[in-house]
């Protein structure tokens, strides 16, 4: 579903990603772990083309992201076509990024109505169902400022799901939350994984990785240090870097 | 009661509200004295105005609601509304152009702002008034090819009112553009990213996500601009624009009652500014939704609307 081959990304002289290879199978949850500044979030942002990659190739659902290949030549896609590609990829941000001037329900309805041109009544029905799914049936008409961080993040998940994406990206979805609110968001994500959604998750929650992930990768210094099933990488890591990281996170 | 406040706090049942502190408030003697002095000065000024024959209260009363004056007020309102409409619409376009990644649009908008902000408004007004001296005739057609769809005499086509509107409106575009641009860049980058990740195009993101949030920042200075515009319309008196000031000037040119007639104009300008200030308050409330003070009433209203709609 998501396939990255030798992806490079630099910001000026700083190489943030130095040849990333990742494959995420459909209906699987893939967790990216690693220290801050290692390039985990940049990988997610490259997957939905919020950042342009400088070398390598990146496919989502069999489509090359952001470019069209004709023979050996790559052509930049027009923004309209990039937007169409992005609508198949849901993204959840660390800082929620809900639209503050719209209620929870309006946040969820926004893209189906204005991007997919779905009839309003139908979009509203689906949005109400999605908000029920994340346990917020009683907050439909609340503005983001009236919700707790955990509630806001659950609205953000419902908003991303409203576009019926093929893959969901989570960029440290619980890092901005008070500790007692982390659980409610992880529960929603766990349920989502059980329904067979393809998910790529950047997180520091090792417990979530161990319990939910089908595959994990440790990213540091812009490279994949180690990857594999969680009960190998997290239990019997082969790389010193992985051991060091796990000992710091788990202590 | 003041004695009670001095006694030690009385023990109370858990969960019960304790006895609240009742202290003697600070006495602000300075405020009382300054208020008294200012009141005295205000009364003195009012007395002197009321008893000054040069004010001409009778003349003010005579001209305040005269059809001639009311027509001037109407022209001033009309000019303000049209010029601000041009200014805000054009300003939004120029602001978006300046923030575009298309270098041609960026350059064009930069030059526009440079030109119209750089030449004094009074000069621009006179310039539009004398456009006929630059191009005596205007053509609609394709230059150099000789194809002409129509032509007209400049002075006939662009009268004083049109010239005034063009000058005020096009000048306002440049200023509004910078206000709108400030509003747009005040919106968090995360908002644009969230919109893009939902598959929204650039235009849709601007219209549905960025501009509505920018409005919150744009409205207070834009209210300022509108009030300034209301008063700047008085500059068009130099090309006889039939606005409020021009009208009263024409009257006192004949009867030499300058002061009363200027007071008539001032009263109307103040009244219109007051109306605009009230309007601004309601606009701010509308675009501030979701921010700061939570609008619980609004949430209930929306829920009720949905329930009644869906039966």
Domains delineated in chain B = 70-286 (1.10.3720.10)
Does position B5 have pLDDT exceeding 80, yes or no?
no
CB A109 within 8 A of CB A122: no
Query: What residues of A are in contact with residue B203 (Cβ under 8 Å)?
Result: none
User: How many Å separate Cα A94 from the centre of its chain?
Assistant: 10
Q: Is B141 on the interface with A (CB under 8 A)?
A: no
For residue B292, the model assigns a pLDDT of 61
Task: For residue A73, give every residue at least 6 positions away whose Cβ sits within 8 Å of its Cβ, in sequence order, or none.
Answer: none
Chain B residue closest in CA terms to A47: B197
- For the record, the structure tokens of B146 come out as 């000789």
Least confident of A111-115, A180-184, B14-18, B36-40: B14-18
Q: How far apart are CA B56 and CA B52, in angstroms?
A: 8
Does position B310 have pLDDT exceeding 70, yes or no?
no
For residue B1, the model assigns a pLDDT of 45
Does position B303 have pLDDT exceeding 90, yes or no?
no
Say whether A114 and B204 touch across the interface (CB within 8 A).
yes
Chain A residue closest in CA terms to B295: A143
Q: How far apart are CA A188 and CA A211, in angstroms?
A: 14
Of A234-238, B147-151, B155-159, which one has max mean pLDDT? A234-238
What is the count of residue pairs from A and B with beta carbons less than 8 Å apart?
92
| Chain A residues within 8 angstroms (CB to CB) of chain B | 48, 50, 79-80, 83-84, 86-91, 93, 95, 97-103, 110-111, 114-115, 124, 140-146, 156, 159-160, 163
The H or E element containing residue A169 is strand A167-171
The closest CB to that of B213, out of A83, A101, A140, belongs to: A101
**Tens of pLDDT, residues B208-257:** 999 999 998 999 999 999 999 999 999 988 887 789 999 999 999 999 89
**Tens of pLDDT, residues A123-175:** 999 999 999 999 999 999 999 999 999 999 999 999 999 999 999 999 999 99
User: How many Å separate Cα A58 from the centre of its chain?
Assistant: 15
Least confident of B36-50, B88-102, B287-301: B287-301
User: How many Å separate Cα A10 from the centre of its chain?
Assistant: 21
**Tens of pLDDT, residues B160-192:** 889 999 999 999 999 999 999 999 999 999 999
Query: Shortest CA distance to A100 belongs to which of B256, B22, B64, B215?
Result: B215
Q: Is B71 exposed, middle or buried (0-12, 13-18, 19+ CB in 10 A)?
A: middle
Query: Shortest CA distance to B56 belongs to which of B229, B261, B274?
Result: B261
Q: Give the whole-number percent of chain A exceeding pLDDT 90.
A: 93
Chain B residue closest in CA terms to A143: B290
Average pLDDT value for residue range A201-225: 94
Neighbours of B111 (CB within 10 A): 10
The H or E element containing residue A32 is strand A29-33
For residue B11, the model assigns a pLDDT of 64
Average pLDDT value for residue range A214-236: 94
Q: What angle do CA B187, B193, B196 make, to 5 degrees?
A: 120
For residue B12, the model assigns a pLDDT of 65
Query: Shortest CA distance to A29 belongs to which of A156, A222, A167?
Result: A167
For residue B290, the model assigns a pLDDT of 76
String of b and e for B113-134 (b: at least 16 CB within 10 Å)? beebeeeebeebbbbbbebbee
Q: How far apart are CA B275 and CA B266, in angstroms?
A: 14
From chain B residues 280-299, the ones with a CB under 8 A of any chain A CB are 287, 289-292, 294-296, 298-299
Q: Is B197 on the interface with A (CB under 8 A)?
A: yes
**Tens of pLDDT, residues B10-36:** 666 777 788 888 999 999 999 999 999
For residue B3, the model assigns a pLDDT of 47
- B284 pLDDT band (50/70/90 cuts)? confident
Query: What residues of A are in contact with residue B194 (Cβ under 8 Å)?
Result: 91, 93, 97-99, 156
| pTM beyond 0.90, yes or no | no
Say whether A146 and B196 touch across the interface (CB within 8 A).
no
Least confident of A78-82, A161-165, B13-17, B131-135: B13-17
Which residues does residue A59 pair with via DSSP β-bridges, in sequence order? Answer: A3, A64
Check residue B87 and report its DSSP letter: H
Q: Ramachandran region of residue A71, left (φ > 0), alpha (ψ -120 to 50) or beta? A: left
Say whether B294 and A143 touch across the interface (CB within 8 A).
yes
Say whether A89 and B292 touch across the interface (CB within 8 A).
no
Give the 3-state DSSP-derived string for A79-130, with helices as H, strands as E and coil as C: HHHHHHHHCCEEEECCCCCCCCCCCHHHHHHHHHHHCCCCCHHHHHHHHHHH
CB A3 within 8 A of CB A208: no
Query: What residues of B are in contact with residue A87 (Cβ under 8 Å)?
Result: 198-199
């Amino acid at each position: 579903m998501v396939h990255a081959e030798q992806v490079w990304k630099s910001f000026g002289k700083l190489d943030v990603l130095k040849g990333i290879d990742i494959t995420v199978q459909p209906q699987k949850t893939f967790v990216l772990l690693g220290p801050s500044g290692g390039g985990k979030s940049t990988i997610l942002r490259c997957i939905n083309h919020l950042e342009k990659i400088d070398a390598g190739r990146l496919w989502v659902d069999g489509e090359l992201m952001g470019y069209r290949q004709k023979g050996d030549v790559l052509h930049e896609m027009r923004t309209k076509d990039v937007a169409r590609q992005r609508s198949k990829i849901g993204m959840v941000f660390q800082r929620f990024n809900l639209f503050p001037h719209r209620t929870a329900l309006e946040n969820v309805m926004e893209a189906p109505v204005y991007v997919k041109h779905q009839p309003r009544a139908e979009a509203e029905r689906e949005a109400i169902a999605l908000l029920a799914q994340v346990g917020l049936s009683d907050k439909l008409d609340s503005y983001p400022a009236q919700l707790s961080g955990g509630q806001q993040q659950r609205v953000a998940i419902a908003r991303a799901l409203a576009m019926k994406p093929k893959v969901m990206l989570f960029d440290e979805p619980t890092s901005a939350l008070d500790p007692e609110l982390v659980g409610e968001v992880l529960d929603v994500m766990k349920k989502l994984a059980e329904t067979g959604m393809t998910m790529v998750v950047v997180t520091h929650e090792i417990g979530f990785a161990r319990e939910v992930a089908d595959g994990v990768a440790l990213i540091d210094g812009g490279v994949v240090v180690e990857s594999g099933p969680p009960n190998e990488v997290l239990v019997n890591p082969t790389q010193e870097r992985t051991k060091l990281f796990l000992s710091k996170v788990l202590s | 009661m003041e004695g009670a406040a001095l006694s030690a706090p009385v023990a109370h049942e858990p969960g019960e509200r304790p006895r609240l502190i009742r202290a003697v408030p600070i006495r602000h003697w300075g405020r009382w004295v300054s208020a008294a002095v200012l009141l005295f000065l205000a009364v003195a000024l009012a007395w002197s105005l009321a008893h000054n024959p040069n004010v001409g209260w009778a003349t003010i009363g005579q001209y305040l609601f005269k059809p001639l004056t009311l027509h001037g007020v109407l022209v001033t309102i009309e000019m303000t509304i049209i010029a601000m409409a041009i200014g805000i619409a054009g300003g939004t376009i120029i602001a978006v152009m300046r923030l575009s990644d298309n270098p041609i649009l960026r350059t064009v908008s930069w030059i526009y702002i440079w030109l119209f902000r750089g030449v004094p408004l009074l000069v621009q007004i006179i310039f539009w008034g004398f456009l006929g001296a630059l191009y005596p005739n205007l053509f609609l057609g394709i230059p150099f090819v000789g194809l002409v769809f129509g032509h007209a005499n400049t002075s006939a086509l662009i009268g004083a009112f049109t010239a005034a509107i063009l000058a005020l409106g096009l000048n306002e575009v440049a200023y509004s553009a910078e206000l709108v641009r400030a509003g747009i860049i005040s919106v968090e980058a995360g908002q644009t990213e969230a919109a893009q990740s939902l598959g929204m195009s650039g235009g849709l993101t601007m219209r549905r996500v960025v501009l509505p949030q920018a409005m919150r920042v744009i409205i207070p200075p834009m209210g300022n601009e509108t009030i300034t515009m209301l008063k700047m319309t008085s500059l068009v008196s130099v090309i006889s624009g039939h606005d409020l000031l021009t009208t009263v000037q024409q009257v006192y040119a004949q009867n030499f009652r300058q002061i009363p007639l200027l007071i008539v104009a001032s009263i109307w300008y103040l009244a219109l500014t007051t109306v605009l200030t009230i309007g601004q308050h309601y606009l701010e409330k509308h675009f501030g939704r979701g921010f700061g003070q939570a609008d619980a009433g609004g949430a209930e209203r929306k829920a009720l609307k949905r329930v009644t709609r869906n039966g």
